[in-house]
Amino acid sequence: MVWRPRTTRIVAYAMAGVIVLGMVALAVVVAPTFRLSDRVLLVLLGLVVAWILHMLARCRVVADESGLTVVNPFRTRRLAWAEVVNVTMNAGDPWPTFDLADGTTLSAMGINATEKARAARDFAQLRALVAVHGEAPDPR
């Protein structure tokens, strides 16, 4: 299963397109006092902003038989099912958080709370998978 935020992707890619096109248009019609290098830098700035937006849009959580892959903007982490103790998403949290066996936590930006109904459905699916495949509960 793959979970990724739909609205975040749409907004990020739309904004990236607008920014790149805007910077190209600005570089073409800008006052003649700008040198060619200045115009190229305008376009490069637009491309850097588009790359950052792409990194935000690529977030996802992928579940398969062997574990989870959590793709956040600048880091991808592969987790075996045994490493995942629990997953929580309290009211007001922007995305779920995995509690890991080593005592650390990992945020999963692939499920975004701003997509209320979709996020609730996706979180319920993820939580069910973690309950089935995750670390066995304490027998106490």
Residues 91 and 120 in one domain: yes
In this structure, the answer to whether residues 82 and 26 fall within a common structural domain is no
Q: What is the pTM of this model?
A: 0.84
Supply the range of the domain harboring residue 96: 60-133
The verdict on 33 and 73 lying in the same domain is no
pLDDT of residue 138: 52
| Judgement on whether residues 92 and 125 belong to the same structural domain of the protein | yes
pLDDT, position 137: 53
Question: Which of the residues in the chain have pLDDT under 70?
Answer: 135-140
Compute how many other C-beta atoms are within 10 angstroms of the C-beta atom of residue 25. Answer: 12
Distance from C-alpha of 140 to C-alpha of 126, rounded to nearest angstrom = 25
Is 138 within a domain? no
- What's the pLDDT score for residue 139? 47
Q: 91 is written with which tokens?
A: 């009211």
User: Does 108 map to a domain?
Assistant: yes
User: Quick one: pLDDT at residue 99?
Assistant: 94
C-beta contacts of 103-110 below 8 A and 24+ residues apart:
106/70, 106/77, 106/79, 107/72, 108/61, 108/70, 108/72, 109/5, 109/59, 109/72, 109/73, 110/3, 110/4, 110/5, 110/59, 110/60, 110/61, 110/70, 110/71
